[in-house]
Amino acid sequence: MSMDDRDQHDPNEPDVSRRQFLRGLSGSLAASAVLATGVEAVPLSPPSPPEPLEPPLAVGPRIKGQVKVRLNVNGQVKTATVEPRTTLLNTLRDDLGLTGAKRICDRGSCGGCTVIADGETIYSCMMLAVDAQGKKITTVEGLGTPEAMSPLQAAFVDHDALMCGFCTPGFVMSCTSLLKHNPDPTETEVKEACAGNICRCGTYPRIFEAVLAAAKRMRGE
Amino acid sequence: MAGWKSPSENTVLGKPTPRLDGPAKVTGRAKYAYDVQPAGLLQGKILRCPHGSAQIISIDTSAAERMPGVGAVIITAKPGDIMRFAGQELGGVAAKSFDIAQDAVRAIKVSYKVLPHVVHEEAAMKPDAPNVRGADPNTSTPNTRSTGDTDAAFQSAAAVIEGTYSCAVRTHNSLETHGTTCKWEDDTHLTCWASTQGVFSVRDDFAREYKLPPANIHVITEVMGGGFGSKFGAGYEGILCANLAKKANAPVKLMLNREEEQIAVGNAPSATVEVRMAADGDGNITAVDAKLHGTGGISGAGVPFPYIYKVGSTKISQISVFMNSGGQRAWRAPGHPQASFLMESAVEDLAIKLGMDPLELRMKNDPSKLRISQWREGARIVGWDRRNAKPGNGKLAGNGRYKRGLGCGAATWGGGGGGGSQCKVIISNDGSVDVEIGVQDIGTGTRTYCAMIVAEELGLAVSAIKTNLGKTSLGYGVGSGGSVTTGSTAPAVKRAAEAAKEALVSAVAAKMGVDTDQIELIDGKVIVKGESGKQVPFKKACSALGPGGVTGDGKWDASLQQNGVAGVQFAEVQVDTLTGLVKVIKVVALQDGGVILNPLTFTSQVNGGVIQGIGMALFEDRKMCQLTGRMLNANMEDYKMPGSMEMPEFVSIAFENPTAKGVSGIGEPPVIPTAAAIRNAVLNASGAALYHAPMTPGRVLDALAAGRKG
């Protein structure tokens, strides 16, 4: 059922989830395989609960077993041995020990796993590690250290733009990217940059303050 | 013993101070239970029942056990057991990776006899509804209570209103889910990194489970990613994790995923009231006749009613409705936001019926002197005189598509502390200062004020104090629920700091050959009074101490805390009368917290309460599917929470209570009045009287149409 973390279906049934689709696609391409096209309907018939809940999609054969990935993270080339289905997020956290990015929704809706890949923010839970190869990836650990924070990180602290802190790395990444693209944002632009991140403690107003203050400081005003 | 100094005498306390764990959090270095990775770590995963109700026929784990990479499989349910909600736990696995654990859980074959279930409150109340609790009915025996003569009050009333007000079940959605990382050091010693609001209650649960002395269990929570009332005790997931670790002979991490977090580890119960309320011609509330029900799924539910106002006579009947969904747990002022929404909505409607300013009616019936002063101050700040004299009709509302209006609501809470806390402040002979207490900082700023209190006593900067919190190996600290943490912790820290200071001063005075009362600690220096120029840096003075330095022990002192905090909130909203979309423009929140230690983290918590209140008012609604018995929106896009684009302007005020002598916690009260204030502002703006939260665009359009019909 859908409380499963990963593949939301029986392995013998057609693949169903978005990520499963991506994963299969990636595997297929890597294996130079052709996408299958057959779509099989799964009827919903109560009282036995429908499983899967999502409509089925067709994919081709998968690569299986373990693959070695080379990732350029925070300016260093790192290698890990992962399954083809392993997300960039899980690889960063579980294999490379970079636990700043958080797995909160694991489906691209909360922004807690945001990293910067080739200059653009991405949700690292929505990208497979095998697909992240060749990209220049920056995680929150690559921006600053507790002793030498980036101006934005320092502004987050000064303005108390965090409480429990679990969403904070994701917001820091989104706002770092914003300031790179737009050094003089309006408050509305800051809000828009944060629209893909969710905070549950309720730190938004102070995040907006912190970003505007950091922008000002970085512009030398 | 000394009390808290007045704000003007403080150099550290009462000044806005950034939180000490901020740098670790913003750089991704803070290690949550979720982030800890002991060598050889396995990942745990729970097997859950997919049916709203079912009896287990058989469980076959053989395929999972055979799977490469699986370290342990444990089944806790047995054939014959009845599962009562979709998501109930049957057991779990630990495996080399997150993905393999998932595969292994999926490979466990469970056969069920599916039983009828009911997952909607109204349906569960019907006499022919599927039975949820075995022998007991789906509704609890009514809790009835009454005061005075309601019949007489209704007969002589100047105005009577009658209505049904309700609010939906919501899910906490703590961003760090429930769970632990468990590592057995040997057969009888367990280290557990827990995402919890109570390290000591987790420790005690493990000690009971394994019949081990509590000292054998070491629970660590240095930082944690939100709990809001839902995270006390080891929980099913914690015990299973430790059992898996034992069986696999390896450390195991078991954190729930987002869906599990929403279906199995708590929610805020719904609340519905059918109420008649009366007032006399002077605006005194003379009678409340109310029937309440609410559901906490397989657990009971209840709200305080008629909440904060003086009421001449009452007749109350209250029941819990049981249904096949995960049990409720405390969530930030349990029951109070619901009670506030129901009562403040009815009070607003009564004022309108009476032709009275709703604020005037509130102030007339509000028993709290402090809140009366907050009402006045808040009204001034928000510009209450701008409000539309009639719902939907006035200068603020205007004549266009977008209409603006004002509303308000109030909160009460305890916030005092309790005994047991044990703090140590250690001054070493190299001049370093450590404050140690086992209590956890759940993101409220506990760590920071502990250092601030010690810095204030010793005349040092906050940065000179090292903090050590969130470990059961340290002195006892309370569980962070009921806003008791500050009231319980801060007094013990202050007494420990005073004791350490006394020991230091005594040693230094002996060395310098002066009386102890001649010595002052100011601005990082030890100063001898009256002898100008005679001063030594703090660090140097500490060299007078022996190799063990000095330690001050502190226990809780009731005189340094107080119970009973007051708060009011005013909301300005804009209603799009074409689409029904409500936009909150501004929230003015005044919150009393007794003696305020750190206004920066204090007002952050007020903002946070308001934001969760906005979620309750406009978005959050757990949707259950009667077909499958499952929660339909157990994710973060269909279960809508407030995001950056929905943020209003905040005016959050740490209200100075002139009579305050002690500290109070305020994690909970700021969430209470927001939904009601927004509801009443929507009514003032547009004439749309909403009876149900969340006030979704559809409901607002319906209410606008009902208003037009008159």
**Which CATH number goes with the domain that contains B48?**
3.30.365.10
The H or E element spanning position B503 is: helix B485-512
Same domain, yes or no: A205 and A179: yes
Q: Taking 80 as the threshold, does the pLDDT of residue A110 lie above it?
A: yes
Chain B residues touching A145 at Cβ < 8 A:
27, 29
The average pLDDT across B357-373 equals 97
Q: Taking 80 as the threshold, does the pLDDT of residue A141 lie above it?
A: yes
Same domain, yes or no: A117 and A156: no
Above pLDDT 70, what percent of chain A? 71
CA nearest to B244, candidates B74, B392, B104? B74
Q: Please tell me the total count of domains within chain B.
A: 3
d(CA A100, nearest CA chain B) in Å = 4
pLDDT score of A11: 40
Q: Where does a domain end: A11, A41, A64?
A: A64
Annotate B221-243 with DSSP letters as a single string: -SS----TT---S-HHHHHHHHH
Q: Is the CB of B637 less than 8 angstroms away from the CB of A146?
A: no
Q: Taking 50 as the threshold, does the pLDDT of residue A26 lie above it?
A: no
The average pLDDT across B311-315 equals 98
- Strand order of the β-sheet with B565-576 is B402-413, B565-576, B582-592, B649-655
Q: Taking 70 as the threshold, does the pLDDT of residue A25 lie above it?
A: no
Chain A residues touching B266 at Cβ < 8 A:
none
Chain A residues touching B443 at Cβ < 8 A:
162-165, 201
Same domain, yes or no: B462 and B390: no
Q: Report which of residues B12 and A9 the model is more confident about.
A: B12
| Location of structure tokens 């397989």 | B298
Of B24, B443, B445, the CB nearest to A146: B24
Q: Is the CB of B29 less than 8 angstroms away from the CB of A141?
A: yes
Chain A residues touching B628 at Cβ < 8 A:
46, 49-50
The average pLDDT across B340-356 equals 98
Q: Mean pLDDT lowest for which of A55-59, B179-183, B386-390, B495-499?
A: A55-59
Q: Is the CB of B636 less than 8 angstroms away from the CB of A105?
A: yes
Q: What integer best gives the mean pLDDT of chain A?
A: 82
Structural domain includes residue A146: no
pLDDT score of B159: 98
Above pLDDT 70, what percent of chain B? 99
Q: Is the CB of B628 less than 8 angstroms away from the CB of A49?
A: yes
pLDDT score of B386: 98
The average pLDDT across B467-487 equals 97
SS3 labels along B112-169: EEECCCCCCHHHHCCCCCCCCECCECCECCCEEEEECCHHHHHHCCCEEEEEEEEECC
Q: Taking 90 as the threshold, does the pLDDT of residue A7 lie above it?
A: no
Same domain, yes or no: B652 and B633: yes
Pairing of strands B550-555, B465-469: unpaired
User: Alpha helix (H) ranges present in B366-400?
Assistant: 369-382
Chain B residues touching A202 at Cβ < 8 A:
604, 607-612, 642
Q: Could you read off the pLDDT of B209-239 as tens digits, one per residue?
A: 999 999 999 999 999 999 999 999 999 999 9
* Interface residue of A7, A86, A160, A194 to substitute, partner B, most B CBs within 10 Å: A160
pLDDT score of B109: 98
CATH number of the domain encompassing residue A162: 1.10.150.120
Q: Is the CB of B636 less than 8 angstroms away from the CB of A11?
A: no
pLDDT score of A37: 35
Q: Taking 60 as the threshold, does the pLDDT of residue B427 lie above it?
A: yes
The average pLDDT across B25-33 equals 98
Rounded to an integer, what distance in angstroms lies between the CA atom of residue A8 and that of residue A17? 6
Q: Taking 50 as the threshold, does the pLDDT of residue B203 lie above it?
A: yes
Q: Taking 70 as the threshold, does the pLDDT of residue B605 lie above it?
A: yes
The tokens for B389 are: 């004299």
Q: Is the CB of A110 less than 8 angstroms away from the CB of B263?
A: no
Q: How many CB pairs under 8 A join A and B?
A: 227
Q: Where does a domain end: B507, B531, B560?
A: B560
pLDDT score of A59: 56
Q: Could you read off the pLDDT of B614-657 as tens digits, one per residue?
A: 999 999 999 999 999 999 999 999 999 999 999 999 999 999 99
Q: Taking 80 as the threshold, does the pLDDT of residue A167 lie above it?
A: yes
Structural domain includes residue B16: no
Q: Where does a domain end: A64, A82, A99?
A: A64
Q: What integer best gives the mean pLDDT of chain B?
A: 97
Structural domain includes residue B286: no
d(CA B505, nearest CA chain A) in Å = 33
d(CA A84, nearest CA chain B) in Å = 11
The average pLDDT across B389-416 equals 96
Contact, A7 vs A17, CB < 8 A? yes
Q: Structural domain of residue A27, as residue ranges?
A: 1-64
The average pLDDT across B380-408 equals 97
Structural domain includes residue A91: yes
Structural domain includes residue A145: no
Q: Structural domain of residue B390, as residue ranges?
A: 322-413+564-709
Rounded to an integer, what distance in angstroms lies between the CA atom of residue A66 and that of residue A68? 7
Q: Where does a domain end: A64, A82, A97?
A: A64
| The amino acid at B453 | I
CA nearest to B637, candidates A194, A107, A179, A49? A107
The tokens for A135 are: 């990209």
Q: Could you read off the pLDDT of A200-220 as tens digits, one per residue?
A: 999 999 999 999 999 999 999
Same domain, yes or no: A86 and A135: yes
Rounded to an integer, what distance in angstroms lies between the CA atom of residue B585 and that of residue B81? 52
Cβ-in-10-Å burial (0-12, 13-18, 19+) of B246 comes to middle
Q: Is the CB of A164 less than 8 angstroms away from the CB of B175?
A: yes
